[in-house]
Structure 1
């Protein structure tokens, strides 16, 4: 038997917490001295106490703690999965609120973000194809460039595809800031930056070693892409296949391109590609839109995360977690 102090040290709880859990009926001592009222705990209670500490560290309410500790394994999984989903939702909401507050604060001064020139050029090549080529919304013909303490982010969308690329800056002064840059002007600036080891992004220009290149900033309001990302449904199907092979098959495919996905293969027209899939699903795309997303990717493999055949599909690469594309499917024929 262990005294309450010794037991508390062993399981990582405080004596006051053990008294509280005893009063709540969650973890009663093995024996209570009838004369002194001292609580004593046994070795058999160590595992329960450690599980209790971990659950409380994760913020699981006491009402759910007992269901995990005393219920069936299936019930425990259900409770923990619901709590994890609740934490993600609360975290996303807090992150969004803090981000909005930070963006509304006045800048700390002239904003400057220093990044590698070739890295910036690579990001531009990946993101710009997702910008609109025409249409009634001039903001969609631009790339949103976000400058913050920990990252530089480039975002473009034509409403059918959304591309997001993140860069880790070498240094940031001032900010945060958002620059809406016409896509064509950004491509020209990227061609200039690719020959510079480092460039500094400022409102109106790129700077490298005293040389500058114009970076015009447009007016208007870019779509609330963060709301789109937060509103994504959890993927039901994940499909891992060869990026280049799928791209080439799409290039030879008529529209719409229907992907019939099974347990270990992906069928596109007359082409069958090996794939690792979490379940059968059938989804259709404009081959030019999905093909452009694959062309912008990096590495030999591509991961498609599918929530439903009529919901945006996330296109990701195992070799570059800083680049994400959303592609909107089309109606199945």
Structure 2
């Protein structure tokens, strides 16, 4: 038998924590002296105490601790998986909130992000078609470039389509920064970057450029605020249908169709504007698209297959490539004919 102080040292808990866990009924002492009230613990309780310490270090609520300590292994495993999922969601939400706060602060100095030149050029080619060609909102004629240690992101939208491409930088130095670059200027910069193995995006106060050795290419910046695209991504929800189909076959069916172009999801096949295509899917679902919007989204994909994630006929459809998870396009359906 060990006194509460000796047992606390052996299991890495404090005497006050042991008293608290006794009061809560999750770790009672083996014996309590009826005259002095001193608590004593046995060696057999060490394993439970160490496990309890680990659960608390992992942030498991005390109400759930008993399930792990006294329940079945299956119940404990299910609870810990659920707790891990909650922690990931909280961490992601906190990270996104901090990133938003950092972006809102005035920059304290320049930022430098080093990327593969051909990779940057490829990302520009995929994202730029989603930028608006004209219209009253000048920000929509630009591409948003987000620079951060966690990654570089290119975003463009014309309100009917949203394209997002993630790039993993070779190195980043400086605080997060957002650049709003007119699409034509970014196309010129991408043509310059594609011939360089590596390029560095250097952004200071009110100016930015691409650097490769002694060569530079300007990145003109536009004024304004890019739309809050993250809210659109967060509001997507769980898709009701997932459709896996040959990307080029679907693109050809879109190109050959008229507007509005109708997609009927059936059991393991699609009626794609009157063309039947084999697919991995489960219907029924029926949507209509503007071919001028859906076609370029399919053309910008990579690989033989495309995955469509459908939530509803009046919600954006997510277009993903199995061969390039870093590129995502959202396409807005139109009204049924």
TM superposition score normalised by structure 2: 0.78
Moved more, 245-254 or 116-125: 245-254
SS of corresponding position for 2:100: helix
Across the aligned residues of Structure 1 and Structure 2, the Cα RMSD in angstroms comes to 4.0
Shift of the 314–71 alpha-carbon distance from structure 1 to 2, 3 Å rule, reads: farther
Cα separation, 2, equivalents of 1:195 and 1:53: 56
Query: For the Cα contact (< 8 Å) 1:245–1:273, is it kept in 2?
Result: no
Cα separation, 2, equivalents of 1:145 and 1:87: 29
Partner in structure 2 of residue 95 of structure 1: 95
Query: For the Cα contact (< 8 Å) 2:99–2:176, is it kept in 1?
Result: no
Pairs within 5 Å for 1:236-315: 236-268=240-272, 269-277=274-282, 280-315=284-319
Cα separation, 1, equivalents of 2:21 and 2:56: 11
Query: For the Cα contact (< 8 Å) 2:309–2:319, is it kept in 1?
Result: yes
Query: For the Cα contact (< 8 Å) 2:265–2:281, is it kept in 1?
Result: no
SS of corresponding position for 1:98: helix
Partner in structure 2 of residue 156 of structure 1: 156
Query: For the Cα contact (< 8 Å) 2:145–2:180, is it kept in 1?
Result: yes
Deviation for aligned residue 1:94: 1.4
Query: For the Cα contact (< 8 Å) 1:246–1:273, is it kept in 2?
Result: no
Pairs within 5 Å for 1:1-333: 21=21, 23-26=23-26, 38-39=40-41, 59-64=59-64, 87=87, 90-202=90-202, 203-268=207-272, 269-277=274-282, 280-333=284-337
Cα separation, 1, equivalents of 2:73 and 2:246: 38
State the number of aligned residues.
328
Deviations 1:137-190 (A, max 9, x none): 011000111222232211100011111112222233334322211101111111
SS of corresponding position for 2:328: strand
Query: For the Cα contact (< 8 Å) 2:142–2:183, is it kept in 1?
Result: yes
Question: Unmatched 5+ residue regions in structure 1?
Answer: none
SS of corresponding position for 1:309: coil
Deviations 1:86-118 (A, max 9, x none): 546533431232112221344342333221111
Deviations 1:252-310 (A, max 9, x none): 22233333223433332231222145x64333322322221111111122222222222
Shift of the 37–53 alpha-carbon distance from structure 1 to 2, 3 Å rule, reads: closer
Query: For the Cα contact (< 8 Å) 1:267–1:273, is it kept in 2?
Result: no
Deviation for aligned residue 1:55: 6.4
Question: Unmatched 5+ residue regions in structure 2?
Answer: none
Cα separation, 2, equivalents of 1:34 and 1:267: 79
Shift of the 271–198 alpha-carbon distance from structure 1 to 2, 3 Å rule, reads: same
Cα separation, 2, equivalents of 1:194 and 1:140: 24
Shift of the 216–15 alpha-carbon distance from structure 1 to 2, 3 Å rule, reads: closer
Shift of the 285–246 alpha-carbon distance from structure 1 to 2, 3 Å rule, reads: same
Deviation for aligned residue 1:331: 2.7
Query: For the Cα contact (< 8 Å) 2:243–2:279, is it kept in 1?
Result: no
Query: For the Cα contact (< 8 Å) 1:107–1:174, is it kept in 2?
Result: no
Query: For the Cα contact (< 8 Å) 1:112–1:175, is it kept in 2?
Result: no
Deviations 1:216-273 (A, max 9, x none): 1111111112222223212233222222222222222223333322343333223122
Moved more, 56-65 or 253-262: 56-65
TM superposition score normalised by structure 1: 0.79
Query: For the Cα contact (< 8 Å) 1:249–1:271, is it kept in 2?
Result: no
Shift of the 173–64 alpha-carbon distance from structure 1 to 2, 3 Å rule, reads: closer
SS of corresponding position for 2:333: coil
Deviation for aligned residue 1:317: 1.6
